[in-house]
């Protein structure tokens, strides 16, 4: 059963996100061509603003998911019902506050953002984006947490893929028809309503046994306040750049940032879809067998840090040729910044370097100890972003992020290895170090070669060739430093063949 869920999660996660990735690259180009960089920057900024708004649910999602791992692994129905009922109570309580803030933002952002888009249009875009969040908070947030913790993340992935494809198709239609972007946001709101209906039907069929009134009013999620701080600081850390650019520079430059970020974040989302689908194994295995967990922990580090490094190596080499093709014929703002590729790549590699360790800190119940480090990381990023954006513009906000990241990477892996697992950090240092060297080698080699890309077919050919070369080298490097991971994967494949 677990292996069946794992396979579905990987297929739905990777396959679905790959399709979304393709559309996610095509559609912004259509939006920029039809509406201009100003509108594209505005929409990207509004999306980031509502990422901040999601802080109202801060702590609930992570606390509930980690609290569900133990009762799910033990088949404890009473424990599952308790966590689910407390989680839904929290989400529904904050929906009223969320709605009120949506109204305030709808009226306030048109005055704050430096944009040429009309006041009423910005008001409608913000309002409709916010209403989508309101109904999601109230109806489906708890359900998505249950599915991820229970190893059914492929359902969430499938719904999200369908949702994003529908949104992208709506954007293409609206842009082709030349309609106001407010109509586009209304279409997105209707798609969210359809998503709510699907979850309701699915849970009535498959999880009707869950009692959402099982917990008494005084029961609370463990370490929820610590998770609140974690979520707030992470959101501030990861969403600062676009907002700082839109406030201190312009939404046009925010559009430049969003185009680069579109590629790099899409690759991260692609890998994260797989991680989210299989991450429940970490949570459940930790409560079942700590020795087995150590092997899986290292395997996850090799697969996901190594995977992200390989993706970033290819993206680093091809991003400038891609941007030149992608923005061909667009002259309202300069899109070519040679230093951005290495900075974006470093942000993603360093972020994934603390992913597995950070997850363990939460699962093992050590989230409180991480509060100070989370606050410090967010503070460094936002202070340096505001300082450096004035002098170095778009490059400055990324430098600030790269400067802030290593501190948390060291802390999370120290906590995971030395404090929680009580072992040497040698294996982790080797895995991370060799992947960093692989990316460094890619940067140095790229400076000495010239890649000629005149059209998208050339880009695809180069992408395939580079993926093969980097993939072979990257896999060899990670097998060399962590052969146990290959043995673990091989054993699972043999078990499946034997069962068949």
> Is 155 found in the same domain as 28?
yes
> Is 58 found in the same domain as 181?
yes
Residue 294 has pLDDT above 80, yes or no: yes
Residue 198 has pLDDT above 50, yes or no: yes
Structure tokens, 283: 């949570």
Q: Can you state the angle between helices 280-288 and 355-363, rounded to 10 degrees?
A: 50
CA distances for 355 relative to 303, 410, 412, angstroms = 12, 12, 8
- Residue 263 in domain: no
Total number of domains constituting the chain = 2
Residue 497 has pLDDT above 70, yes or no: no
Residue 15 has pLDDT above 70, yes or no: no
Name the residue with higher pLDDT: 172 or 420.
420
- Residue 127 in domain: yes
> Is 293 found in the same domain as 222?
no
**Cα–Cα distance measured from residue 108 to residue 404, given in angstroms and rounded to the nearest whole number:** 30
**Cα–Cα distance measured from residue 410 to residue 428, given in angstroms and rounded to the nearest whole number:** 10
- Identify the band that residue 1 occupies on the pLDDT scale cut at 50, 70 and 90: very low
**Cα–Cα distance measured from residue 396 to residue 340, given in angstroms and rounded to the nearest whole number:** 10
Domain containing 136 equals 1-209+218-229
In terms of C-beta density within 10 A (0-12 exposed, 13-18 middle, 19 or more buried), how is residue 454 classed? exposed
124 half-sphere exposure, CB direction, 13 A CA radius? 13
Residue 500 has pLDDT above 50, yes or no: no
Residue 429 has pLDDT above 60, yes or no: yes
**Cα–Cα distance measured from residue 403 to residue 158, given in angstroms and rounded to the nearest whole number:** 36
* Other CB atoms within 10 A of residue 262 CB: 19
Name the residue with higher pLDDT: 366 or 494.
366
Q: Which of 312, 304, 437 is nearest to 359 (CA)?
A: 304
Residue 189 has pLDDT above 80, yes or no: yes
The pTM is what? 0.70
Put residue 392 in one of left, alpha, beta given phi > 0 → left and psi -120 to 50 → alpha: alpha
pLDDT for 17 equals: 64
Sign for the CA dihedral angle at 426, 427, 430, 436 comes to: negative
> Is 488 found in the same domain as 399?
yes
Q: Which of 40, 34, 38 is nearest to 176 (CA)?
A: 34
**Cα–Cα distance measured from residue 357 to residue 411, given in angstroms and rounded to the nearest whole number:** 9
Name the residue with higher pLDDT: 249 or 453.
453
Cβ atoms 97, 56 nearer than 8 A: yes
- Residue 86 in domain: yes
Residue 67 has pLDDT above 90, yes or no: no
> Is 105 found in the same domain as 22?
yes
> Is 18 found in the same domain as 108?
yes
Output the CA angle 335-126-167, nearest 5 degrees: 70
Residue 58 has pLDDT above 80, yes or no: no
* Other CB atoms within 10 A of residue 461 CB: 12
Lowest mean pLDDT among 203-217, 272-286, 439-453: 272-286
- Residue 158 in domain: yes
> Is 294 found in the same domain as 225?
no
> Is 303 found in the same domain as 204?
no
CA distances for 227 relative to 55, 64, 157, 174, 369, angstroms = 11, 10, 24, 39, 11
> Is 395 found in the same domain as 494?
yes
pLDDT for 2 equals: 52
Structure tokens, 380: 């460094």
- Residue 267 in domain: no
> Is 327 found in the same domain as 179?
no
- Identify the band that residue 348 occupies on the pLDDT scale cut at 50, 70 and 90: very high
- Residue 274 in domain: no
In terms of C-beta density within 10 A (0-12 exposed, 13-18 middle, 19 or more buried), how is residue 294 classed? middle
> Is 339 found in the same domain as 225?
no
Sign for the CA dihedral angle at 351, 479, 300, 161 comes to: positive
- Identify the band that residue 417 occupies on the pLDDT scale cut at 50, 70 and 90: very high
pLDDT for 55 equals: 60
pLDDT for 252 equals: 75
| 151: Cβ contacts below 8 Å, ≥ 6 apart | 2, 5, 6, 9, 280, 281
Structure tokens, 184: 């586009």
Output the CA angle 348-352-355, nearest 5 degrees: 145
- For residue 419, the 8-state DSSP code is I
Convert the pLDDT of each residue in 91-103 to its tens digit.
Answer: 888 788 888 888 8
Convert the pLDDT of each residue in 357-389 to its tens digit.
Answer: 988 888 777 777 777 888 888 889 889 989 998
- Residue 446 in domain: yes
**Cα–Cα distance measured from residue 227 to residue 61, given in angstroms and rounded to the nearest whole number:** 9
**Cα–Cα distance measured from residue 58 to residue 239, given in angstroms and rounded to the nearest whole number:** 15
What's the average model confidence in pLDDT over 324-343?
A: 84
Q: Which of 36-50, 111-125, 348-362 has the highest mean pLDDT?
A: 348-362
* Other CB atoms within 10 A of residue 283 CB: 25
- Residue 426 in domain: yes
**Cα–Cα distance measured from residue 423 to residue 444, given in angstroms and rounded to the nearest whole number:** 35
pLDDT, averaged across the chain: 81
Q: Which of 281, 271, 298 is nearest to 488 (CA)?
A: 298
> Is 310 found in the same domain as 224?
no
Sign for the CA dihedral angle at 292, 296, 297, 298 comes to: positive
| Helix ranges (DSSP H) in 113-152 | 119-139, 141-149
Name the residue with higher pLDDT: 455 or 280.
455
**Cα–Cα distance measured from residue 25 to residue 29, given in angstroms and rounded to the nearest whole number:** 7
């Amino acid at each position: 059963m677990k292996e069946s869920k794992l396979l579905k999660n990987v297929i739905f996660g990777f396959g679905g996100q790959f399709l979304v990735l393709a559309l996610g690259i095509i559609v912004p180009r259509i939006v920029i061509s039809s509406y201009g960089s100003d509108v594209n920057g505005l929409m990207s900024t509004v999306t980031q603003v509502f990422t901040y708004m999601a802080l109202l649910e801060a702590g609930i999602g992570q606390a509930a998911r980690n609290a569900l791992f133990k009762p799910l692994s033990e088949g404890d129905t009473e424990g599952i019902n308790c966590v689910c009922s407390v989680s839904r109570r929290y989400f529904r309580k904050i929906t009223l506050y969320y709605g009120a803030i949506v109204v305030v933002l709808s009226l306030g952002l048109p005055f704050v953002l430096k944009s040429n888009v009309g006041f009423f249009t910005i008001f409608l875009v913000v309002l409709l984006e916010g209403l989508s969040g309101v109904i999601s908070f109230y109806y489906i947030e708890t359900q998505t947490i249950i599915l991820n913790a229970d190893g059914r993340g492929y359902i969430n992935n499938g719904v999200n893929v369908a949702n994003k494809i529908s949104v992208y198709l709506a954007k293409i239609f609206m842009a082709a028809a030349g309609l106001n972007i407010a109509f586009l946001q209304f279409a997105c709101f209707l798609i969210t309503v359809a998503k709510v209906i699907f979850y309701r039907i699915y849970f009535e069929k498959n999880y009707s046994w869950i009692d959402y009134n099982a917990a008494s009013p005084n029961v609370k999620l463990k370490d929820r306040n610590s998770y609140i701080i974690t979520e707030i600081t992470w959101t501030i850390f990861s969403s600062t750049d676009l907002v700082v650019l839109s406030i201190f520079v312009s939404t046009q430059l925010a559009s430049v940032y969003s185009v680069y970020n579109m590629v790099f974040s899409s690759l991260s989302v692609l890998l994260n879809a797989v991680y989210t689908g299989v991450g429940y194994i970490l949570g459940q295995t930790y409560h079942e067998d700590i020795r087995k967990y150590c092997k899986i922990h290292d395997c996850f580090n090799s697969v996901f840090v190594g995977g992200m490094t390989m993706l970033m190596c290819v993206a680093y080499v091809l991003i400038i040729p891609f941007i030149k093709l992608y923005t061909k014929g667009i002259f309202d703002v300069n899109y070519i910044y040679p230093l951005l590729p290495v900075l974006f790549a470093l942000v993603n590699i360093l972020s994934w370097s603390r992913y597995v360790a950070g997850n363990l800190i939460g699962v093992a119940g050590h989230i409180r100890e991480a509060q100070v480090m989370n606050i410090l990381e967010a503070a460094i990023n936002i202070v340096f972003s505001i300082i450096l954006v004035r002098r170095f513009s778009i490059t400055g906000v990324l430098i600030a992020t790269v400067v802030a990241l290593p501190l948390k990477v060291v802390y999370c892996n120290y906590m995971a290895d030395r404090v929680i697992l009580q072992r040497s950090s040698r294996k982790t240092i080797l895995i991370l170090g060799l992947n960093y060297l692989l990316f460094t080698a890619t940067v140095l080699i790229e400076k000495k070669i010239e890649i000629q890309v005149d059209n998208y077919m050339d880009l695809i050919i180069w992408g395939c060739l580079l993926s093969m070369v980097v993939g072979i080298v990257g896999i060899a490097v990670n097998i060399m430093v962590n052969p146990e991971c290959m043995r673990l994967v091989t054993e699972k494949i043999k078990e499946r063949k034997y069962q068949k």
